[in-house]
Structure 1
Amino acid sequence: MNHAALFCHQFWGEGTYELAIEVGSADDDRLQAVLDAVWGAAGARGCYGHKDREPEEQETVPRTVASLEEFGRLLGRARLPSGEPVVCEVSAVRGGDDDGGDWLAFGVPLSALRQAGVEFEDGPYFRSAAADGWLAGIGQDAFREAPFSLGLVGWSVSGLTDAETLGGVLPESRGMVYLLPSGGNLRCGAVND
Protein backbone atom coordinates (compact mmCIF):
# COMPACT_ATOMS: atom_id res chain seq x y z
CA MET A 1 0.00 0.00 0.00
CA ASN A 2 1.28 3.49 -0.81
CA HIS A 3 2.11 5.99 1.92
CA ALA A 4 -0.87 8.20 1.02
CA ALA A 5 -3.18 5.53 2.49
CA LEU A 6 -1.18 4.96 5.71
CA PHE A 7 -2.31 6.75 8.86
CA CYS A 8 1.14 6.85 10.50
CA HIS A 9 2.83 8.42 7.44
CA GLN A 10 0.85 11.67 7.54
CA PHE A 11 1.78 15.12 8.86
CA TRP A 12 -1.56 15.65 10.60
CA GLY A 13 -0.60 19.09 11.95
CA GLU A 14 -0.26 20.50 8.43
CA GLY A 15 -4.02 20.56 7.99
CA THR A 16 -6.43 18.99 5.56
CA TYR A 17 -7.83 19.84 2.20
CA GLU A 18 -11.49 19.64 3.04
CA LEU A 19 -15.14 19.85 2.28
CA ALA A 20 -16.55 21.79 5.25
CA ILE A 21 -20.31 21.65 5.60
CA GLU A 22 -22.51 23.92 7.65
CA VAL A 23 -25.11 21.31 8.58
CA GLY A 24 -27.74 23.75 9.78
CA SER A 25 -29.34 23.39 13.17
CA ALA A 26 -27.51 21.68 16.01
CA ASP A 27 -29.17 18.28 15.87
CA ASP A 28 -27.69 14.78 16.16
CA ASP A 29 -30.01 13.32 13.53
CA ARG A 30 -29.14 15.98 10.93
CA LEU A 31 -25.43 15.67 11.66
CA GLN A 32 -25.66 11.86 11.35
CA ALA A 33 -27.50 12.17 8.03
CA VAL A 34 -24.82 14.48 6.60
CA LEU A 35 -22.02 12.26 7.97
CA ASP A 36 -23.56 9.20 6.29
CA ALA A 37 -24.19 11.05 3.03
CA VAL A 38 -20.64 12.45 2.82
CA TRP A 39 -18.96 9.15 3.78
CA GLY A 40 -21.04 7.36 1.16
CA ALA A 41 -20.49 9.98 -1.56
CA ALA A 42 -16.73 9.79 -0.95
CA GLY A 43 -16.78 5.99 -1.12
CA ALA A 44 -14.86 6.00 2.17
CA ARG A 45 -14.01 2.59 3.63
CA GLY A 46 -13.43 1.57 7.22
CA CYS A 47 -14.08 3.74 10.22
CA TYR A 48 -11.39 4.11 12.85
CA GLY A 49 -10.74 6.26 15.88
CA HIS A 50 -6.93 6.38 16.10
CA LYS A 51 -4.56 8.11 13.71
CA ASP A 52 -1.43 6.73 15.41
CA ARG A 53 -2.20 3.13 14.36
CA GLU A 54 -2.85 1.63 10.96
CA PRO A 55 -6.36 0.27 10.31
CA GLU A 56 -5.04 -3.28 10.44
CA GLU A 57 -3.82 -2.61 14.00
CA GLN A 58 -7.14 -1.39 15.45
CA GLU A 59 -10.78 -2.29 15.65
CA THR A 60 -13.34 -0.45 13.55
CA VAL A 61 -15.69 1.93 15.34
CA PRO A 62 -19.28 2.78 14.47
CA ARG A 63 -19.69 5.67 12.02
CA THR A 64 -21.84 7.70 14.40
CA VAL A 65 -22.08 11.11 16.02
CA ALA A 66 -21.30 9.39 19.34
CA SER A 67 -18.03 8.02 17.89
CA LEU A 68 -17.17 11.46 16.51
CA GLU A 69 -17.62 12.92 19.98
CA GLU A 70 -15.64 10.11 21.63
CA PHE A 71 -12.62 10.18 19.28
CA GLY A 72 -12.75 13.78 18.00
CA ARG A 73 -12.50 12.53 14.40
CA LEU A 74 -13.17 9.41 12.38
CA LEU A 75 -10.68 8.05 9.88
CA GLY A 76 -10.90 5.84 6.84
CA ARG A 77 -9.62 5.46 3.31
CA ALA A 78 -11.05 6.84 0.08
CA ARG A 79 -9.97 6.79 -3.55
CA LEU A 80 -9.13 9.90 -5.51
CA PRO A 81 -10.56 10.14 -9.05
CA SER A 82 -7.12 8.94 -10.21
CA GLY A 83 -7.72 5.69 -8.31
CA GLU A 84 -5.06 6.39 -5.69
CA PRO A 85 -6.11 5.38 -2.16
CA VAL A 86 -5.69 8.11 0.47
CA VAL A 87 -6.32 8.55 4.18
CA CYS A 88 -9.47 10.55 4.88
CA GLU A 89 -10.95 11.98 8.04
CA VAL A 90 -14.15 13.55 9.21
CA SER A 91 -14.57 15.85 12.20
CA ALA A 92 -17.37 17.95 13.61
CA VAL A 93 -17.71 21.22 15.43
CA ARG A 94 -20.87 21.27 17.47
CA GLY A 95 -22.62 24.60 17.94
CA GLY A 96 -25.91 25.90 19.15
CA ASP A 97 -28.58 27.23 16.82
CA ASP A 98 -27.44 30.76 17.75
CA ASP A 99 -23.94 29.86 16.45
CA GLY A 100 -25.17 28.63 13.06
CA GLY A 101 -25.42 25.04 14.24
CA ASP A 102 -23.11 22.14 13.54
CA TRP A 103 -20.28 21.86 11.03
CA LEU A 104 -18.89 18.64 9.54
CA ALA A 105 -15.56 18.54 7.71
CA PHE A 106 -14.44 15.71 5.43
CA GLY A 107 -10.85 16.00 4.30
CA VAL A 108 -7.55 14.48 3.32
CA PRO A 109 -4.24 15.49 4.96
CA LEU A 110 -2.11 17.61 2.63
CA SER A 111 0.74 15.12 3.03
CA ALA A 112 -1.48 12.28 1.71
CA LEU A 113 -2.51 14.36 -1.30
CA ARG A 114 1.14 15.13 -2.08
CA GLN A 115 2.09 11.46 -1.70
CA ALA A 116 -0.72 10.57 -4.14
CA GLY A 117 0.66 13.03 -6.70
CA VAL A 118 -1.98 15.76 -6.41
CA GLU A 119 -0.60 19.06 -7.67
CA PHE A 120 -1.02 22.39 -5.87
CA GLU A 121 -0.71 25.95 -7.17
CA ASP A 122 2.14 28.09 -5.92
CA GLY A 123 1.22 30.93 -3.60
CA PRO A 124 0.42 31.73 0.00
CA TYR A 125 -2.43 29.18 0.15
CA PHE A 126 -2.61 25.52 -0.78
CA ARG A 127 -4.93 25.27 -3.80
CA SER A 128 -5.62 22.31 -6.01
CA ALA A 129 -8.11 22.31 -8.87
CA ALA A 130 -8.15 18.49 -8.80
CA ALA A 131 -8.95 18.32 -5.07
CA ASP A 132 -11.49 21.15 -5.45
CA GLY A 133 -13.36 19.25 -8.15
CA TRP A 134 -13.31 15.94 -6.27
CA LEU A 135 -14.50 17.39 -2.94
CA ALA A 136 -17.11 19.65 -4.57
CA GLY A 137 -18.49 16.56 -6.32
CA ILE A 138 -18.72 14.75 -2.98
CA GLY A 139 -20.60 17.75 -1.55
CA GLN A 140 -23.02 17.82 -4.48
CA ASP A 141 -23.74 14.10 -4.18
CA ALA A 142 -24.14 14.32 -0.40
CA PHE A 143 -26.54 17.28 -0.72
CA ARG A 144 -28.97 15.11 -2.69
CA GLU A 145 -29.14 12.70 0.27
CA ALA A 146 -28.92 15.18 3.15
CA PRO A 147 -29.40 18.88 2.32
CA PHE A 148 -27.22 21.34 4.22
CA SER A 149 -26.87 25.12 4.61
CA LEU A 150 -23.44 25.70 3.03
CA GLY A 151 -20.39 23.85 1.77
CA LEU A 152 -16.84 25.22 1.48
CA VAL A 153 -13.94 23.47 -0.23
CA GLY A 154 -10.27 24.27 0.26
CA TRP A 155 -7.41 24.08 2.71
CA SER A 156 -8.64 24.38 6.33
CA VAL A 157 -11.79 26.33 5.34
CA SER A 158 -14.18 25.28 8.12
CA GLY A 159 -16.05 28.23 9.55
CA LEU A 160 -14.46 30.92 7.32
CA THR A 161 -17.96 32.16 6.50
CA ASP A 162 -21.51 30.92 7.02
CA ALA A 163 -24.80 30.80 5.17
CA GLU A 164 -26.29 33.70 7.12
CA THR A 165 -23.37 35.98 6.23
CA LEU A 166 -23.64 35.08 2.53
CA GLY A 167 -27.40 35.67 2.48
CA GLY A 168 -27.86 33.33 -0.50
CA VAL A 169 -25.33 35.22 -2.67
CA LEU A 170 -22.08 33.74 -3.99
CA PRO A 171 -19.14 36.11 -3.47
CA GLU A 172 -17.80 37.64 -6.70
CA SER A 173 -14.20 36.95 -5.66
CA ARG A 174 -13.70 33.39 -4.42
CA GLY A 175 -10.50 32.02 -2.88
CA MET A 176 -12.28 28.75 -2.09
CA VAL A 177 -15.14 26.76 -3.61
CA TYR A 178 -18.64 27.61 -2.36
CA LEU A 179 -21.57 25.17 -2.44
CA LEU A 180 -24.62 27.31 -1.75
CA PRO A 181 -28.20 25.99 -1.74
CA SER A 182 -30.85 27.91 -3.65
CA GLY A 183 -34.40 26.73 -4.29
CA GLY A 184 -33.60 23.12 -3.45
CA ASN A 185 -30.55 23.04 -5.75
CA LEU A 186 -26.90 23.47 -4.92
CA ARG A 187 -24.97 26.19 -6.77
CA CYS A 188 -21.21 25.74 -7.10
CA GLY A 189 -18.98 28.81 -7.12
CA ALA A 190 -15.50 27.77 -8.21
CA VAL A 191 -12.26 29.47 -7.15
CA ASN A 192 -11.69 32.53 -9.35
CA ASP A 193 -8.98 34.61 -7.64
Structure 2
Amino acid sequence: MTNAASFRRQFWSGGFYELAIEVGSTDDAALQAVLDAVWTAAQVQGCYGHEGREPEEQEAVPRTIAALEEFGQLLGRVRLPTGELVAFGVTAVRGGDDSSDWLDFGVPLSALWQAGVAFEEGPFERSAATDDWLAALATDAFREAPFSLGLVGWNVSGLAEAALLSDGLPEKRGMGYLLPRDGVLHYGAVND
Protein backbone atom coordinates (compact mmCIF):
# COMPACT_ATOMS: atom_id res chain seq x y z
CA MET A 1 0.00 0.00 0.00
CA THR A 2 1.27 3.48 -0.77
CA ASN A 3 1.49 6.21 1.84
CA ALA A 4 -1.35 7.97 0.01
CA ALA A 5 -3.79 5.44 1.46
CA SER A 6 -2.26 5.27 4.94
CA PHE A 7 -4.20 6.28 8.04
CA ARG A 8 -1.00 6.92 9.99
CA ARG A 9 -1.02 10.57 11.04
CA GLN A 10 2.59 11.25 9.99
CA PHE A 11 1.42 10.99 6.38
CA TRP A 12 -1.41 13.50 6.90
CA SER A 13 0.40 16.80 6.56
CA GLY A 14 -0.04 20.03 4.63
CA GLY A 15 -3.72 20.52 5.42
CA PHE A 16 -6.63 19.13 3.46
CA TYR A 17 -7.97 19.49 -0.04
CA GLU A 18 -11.66 19.76 0.74
CA LEU A 19 -15.20 19.59 -0.37
CA ALA A 20 -16.81 21.64 2.41
CA ILE A 21 -20.60 21.57 2.42
CA GLU A 22 -22.86 24.01 4.24
CA VAL A 23 -25.80 21.72 5.00
CA GLY A 24 -28.40 24.47 5.40
CA SER A 25 -29.73 23.40 8.79
CA THR A 26 -28.64 22.04 12.16
CA ASP A 27 -30.91 19.02 11.95
CA ASP A 28 -29.20 15.63 12.51
CA ALA A 29 -31.26 14.05 9.73
CA ALA A 30 -30.10 16.65 7.19
CA LEU A 31 -26.46 16.22 8.19
CA GLN A 32 -26.82 12.43 8.01
CA ALA A 33 -28.39 12.69 4.54
CA VAL A 34 -25.49 14.79 3.24
CA LEU A 35 -22.95 12.44 4.86
CA ASP A 36 -24.61 9.43 3.22
CA ALA A 37 -24.89 11.15 -0.16
CA VAL A 38 -21.22 12.24 -0.24
CA TRP A 39 -20.02 8.85 1.00
CA THR A 40 -22.00 7.09 -1.73
CA ALA A 41 -20.96 9.52 -4.48
CA ALA A 42 -17.29 9.06 -3.54
CA GLN A 43 -17.65 5.24 -3.41
CA VAL A 44 -15.80 5.20 -0.11
CA GLN A 45 -14.08 2.03 1.04
CA GLY A 46 -14.61 1.40 4.74
CA CYS A 47 -15.63 3.58 7.64
CA TYR A 48 -13.24 3.91 10.57
CA GLY A 49 -12.74 6.12 13.59
CA HIS A 50 -9.02 5.98 14.43
CA GLU A 51 -6.46 7.85 12.37
CA GLY A 52 -3.47 6.21 14.09
CA ARG A 53 -4.36 2.70 12.92
CA GLU A 54 -4.70 1.22 9.47
CA PRO A 55 -8.14 -0.19 8.58
CA GLU A 56 -6.81 -3.72 8.95
CA GLU A 57 -5.91 -2.88 12.58
CA GLN A 58 -9.33 -1.63 13.72
CA GLU A 59 -13.01 -2.43 13.67
CA ALA A 60 -15.23 -0.62 11.20
CA VAL A 61 -17.63 1.90 12.70
CA PRO A 62 -21.14 2.83 11.54
CA ARG A 63 -21.48 5.76 9.16
CA THR A 64 -23.61 7.79 11.53
CA ILE A 65 -23.66 11.24 13.09
CA ALA A 66 -23.27 9.54 16.49
CA ALA A 67 -20.02 7.85 15.33
CA LEU A 68 -18.84 11.10 13.77
CA GLU A 69 -19.39 12.89 17.08
CA GLU A 70 -17.81 10.08 19.09
CA PHE A 71 -14.60 9.91 17.04
CA GLY A 72 -14.48 13.52 15.82
CA GLN A 73 -14.07 12.26 12.27
CA LEU A 74 -14.81 9.29 10.04
CA LEU A 75 -12.08 7.88 7.84
CA GLY A 76 -12.05 5.84 4.68
CA ARG A 77 -10.30 5.41 1.37
CA VAL A 78 -11.36 6.67 -2.03
CA ARG A 79 -10.09 6.28 -5.58
CA LEU A 80 -9.02 9.37 -7.41
CA PRO A 81 -9.96 9.62 -11.09
CA THR A 82 -6.38 8.46 -11.80
CA GLY A 83 -7.14 5.18 -10.01
CA GLU A 84 -4.84 5.91 -7.04
CA LEU A 85 -6.27 4.95 -3.65
CA VAL A 86 -6.01 7.71 -1.02
CA ALA A 87 -7.03 8.16 2.60
CA PHE A 88 -9.55 10.83 3.52
CA GLY A 89 -11.49 12.07 6.50
CA VAL A 90 -14.92 13.57 7.10
CA THR A 91 -15.54 16.02 9.92
CA ALA A 92 -18.57 18.06 10.91
CA VAL A 93 -18.79 21.55 12.33
CA ARG A 94 -22.10 21.88 14.08
CA GLY A 95 -23.85 25.24 13.77
CA GLY A 96 -25.63 27.08 16.50
CA ASP A 97 -28.90 28.98 16.54
CA ASP A 98 -27.77 31.43 13.86
CA SER A 99 -25.76 29.17 11.56
CA SER A 100 -25.80 25.92 9.65
CA ASP A 101 -23.91 22.66 10.06
CA TRP A 102 -20.94 22.00 7.78
CA LEU A 103 -19.66 18.63 6.54
CA ASP A 104 -16.03 18.59 5.38
CA PHE A 105 -14.76 15.83 3.11
CA GLY A 106 -10.98 16.25 3.09
CA VAL A 107 -8.10 14.42 1.43
CA PRO A 108 -4.75 15.12 3.10
CA LEU A 109 -2.58 17.21 0.82
CA SER A 110 0.30 14.84 1.52
CA ALA A 111 -1.83 11.93 0.22
CA LEU A 112 -2.46 13.82 -3.02
CA TRP A 113 1.28 14.53 -3.35
CA GLN A 114 2.03 10.83 -2.76
CA ALA A 115 -0.56 9.93 -5.41
CA GLY A 116 1.18 12.16 -7.96
CA VAL A 117 -1.53 14.82 -8.27
CA ALA A 118 -0.22 17.85 -10.14
CA PHE A 119 -0.61 21.25 -8.51
CA GLU A 120 -0.45 24.68 -10.12
CA GLU A 121 2.30 27.15 -9.29
CA GLY A 122 1.28 29.89 -6.88
CA PRO A 123 0.89 30.83 -3.25
CA PHE A 124 -1.88 28.26 -2.62
CA GLU A 125 -2.16 24.58 -3.39
CA ARG A 126 -4.47 24.26 -6.39
CA SER A 127 -5.32 21.32 -8.59
CA ALA A 128 -7.92 21.80 -11.31
CA ALA A 129 -8.33 18.02 -11.67
CA THR A 130 -8.98 17.60 -7.93
CA ASP A 131 -11.36 20.58 -7.96
CA ASP A 132 -13.34 19.01 -10.81
CA TRP A 133 -13.43 15.60 -9.09
CA LEU A 134 -14.73 17.09 -5.82
CA ALA A 135 -17.25 19.25 -7.69
CA ALA A 136 -18.54 16.14 -9.47
CA LEU A 137 -18.90 14.35 -6.10
CA ALA A 138 -20.83 17.34 -4.77
CA THR A 139 -23.10 17.40 -7.81
CA ASP A 140 -23.91 13.70 -7.40
CA ALA A 141 -24.49 14.13 -3.65
CA PHE A 142 -26.73 17.18 -4.21
CA ARG A 143 -29.16 15.04 -6.23
CA GLU A 144 -29.72 12.86 -3.16
CA ALA A 145 -29.37 15.45 -0.39
CA PRO A 146 -29.64 19.12 -1.42
CA PHE A 147 -27.48 21.55 0.53
CA SER A 148 -26.95 25.33 0.73
CA LEU A 149 -23.36 25.72 -0.46
CA GLY A 150 -20.28 23.74 -1.39
CA LEU A 151 -16.70 24.99 -1.41
CA VAL A 152 -13.79 23.22 -3.11
CA GLY A 153 -10.08 23.77 -2.54
CA TRP A 154 -7.28 23.74 -0.01
CA ASN A 155 -8.51 24.36 3.56
CA VAL A 156 -11.70 26.13 2.40
CA SER A 157 -14.17 25.12 5.09
CA GLY A 158 -16.13 28.08 6.42
CA LEU A 159 -14.55 30.66 4.08
CA ALA A 160 -17.95 31.65 2.65
CA GLU A 161 -21.63 31.33 3.59
CA ALA A 162 -24.66 30.78 1.41
CA ALA A 163 -26.47 33.68 3.13
CA LEU A 164 -23.81 36.08 1.81
CA LEU A 165 -24.12 34.89 -1.79
CA SER A 166 -27.63 36.13 -2.60
CA ASP A 167 -26.29 37.77 -5.77
CA GLY A 168 -24.92 34.46 -7.03
CA LEU A 169 -21.39 33.21 -7.57
CA PRO A 170 -18.57 35.67 -6.91
CA GLU A 171 -17.06 37.10 -10.07
CA LYS A 172 -13.49 36.38 -8.89
CA ARG A 173 -13.05 33.02 -7.18
CA GLY A 174 -9.99 31.83 -5.30
CA MET A 175 -11.81 28.57 -4.53
CA GLY A 176 -14.52 26.56 -6.24
CA TYR A 177 -18.14 27.37 -5.36
CA LEU A 178 -21.14 25.08 -5.69
CA LEU A 179 -24.24 27.21 -5.25
CA PRO A 180 -27.82 25.99 -5.73
CA ARG A 181 -30.35 28.18 -7.52
CA ASP A 182 -33.89 27.00 -8.26
CA GLY A 183 -32.97 23.39 -7.44
CA VAL A 184 -29.93 23.31 -9.73
CA LEU A 185 -26.36 23.23 -8.42
CA HIS A 186 -24.09 25.70 -10.24
CA TYR A 187 -20.32 25.26 -10.18
CA GLY A 188 -18.01 28.23 -10.36
CA ALA A 189 -14.43 27.02 -10.76
CA VAL A 190 -11.39 28.91 -9.49
CA ASN A 191 -10.59 31.83 -11.79
CA ASP A 192 -8.38 34.08 -9.66
Q: TM-score, normalised by structure 1?
A: 0.97
In structure 2, the gaps of 5 or more residues are none
Check if 1:30 corresponds to 2:8.
Answer: no
Task: Quickly say closer, same or farther: Cα 1:168–1:74, change in 2 above 3 A.
Answer: farther
Alpha-carbon deviation of 1:168?
Answer: 4.7
Please state if 1:181 is matched with 2:180.
yes
CA distance in 2, matches of 1:152, 1:12: 21
Match of 1:62 in 2: 62
Whole-angstrom distance in 2 between the partners of 1:13 and 1:118: 15
Amino acid at match of 1:161: A
Measured in 2, the distance between the counterparts of 1:114 and 1:77 equals: 15
Does residue 15 in structure 1 map to residue 15 in structure 2? yes
Alignment of 1:20-99 (within 5 A): 20-99=20-99
Q: Aligned AA for 2:4?
A: A
For the Cα contact (< 8 Å) 1:90–1:107, is it kept in 2?
A: yes
Q: Is the 8 A contact 2:44 2:78 kept in 1?
A: yes
The answer on whether the counterparts of 1:168 and 1:182 sit within 8 Å (CA) in structure 2 is no
* Paired amino acid for 1:143: F
Distance in 2 (alpha carbons) for counterparts of 1:117 and 1:13: 15
Structure 1 residue ranges without an equivalent (≥5) = none
The Cα shift of 1:10 comes to 4.7
Root mean square deviation, CA, Å: 1.0
- Give the letter aligned to residue 32 of structure 1: Q
Does the CA-based 8 Å contact 1:44-1:88 persist in structure 2? no
TM-score by length of 2: 0.97
- 1:67 counterpart SS class: helix
**Aligned with 1:134: secondary structure?**
helix
Counterparts in 2 of 1:131-150, with a 5 A limit? 131-150=130-149
CA distance in 1, matches of 2:147, 2:168: 16
**Secondary structure of 2:98's partner?**
helix
Identity %: 70
User: Do 2:81 and 2:133's aligned partners in 1 also have CA atoms closer than 8 Å?
Assistant: yes
- Per-residue Cα deviation, 1:145-172 (whole angstroms, up to 9, x for no partner): 0000000000010000100011151000
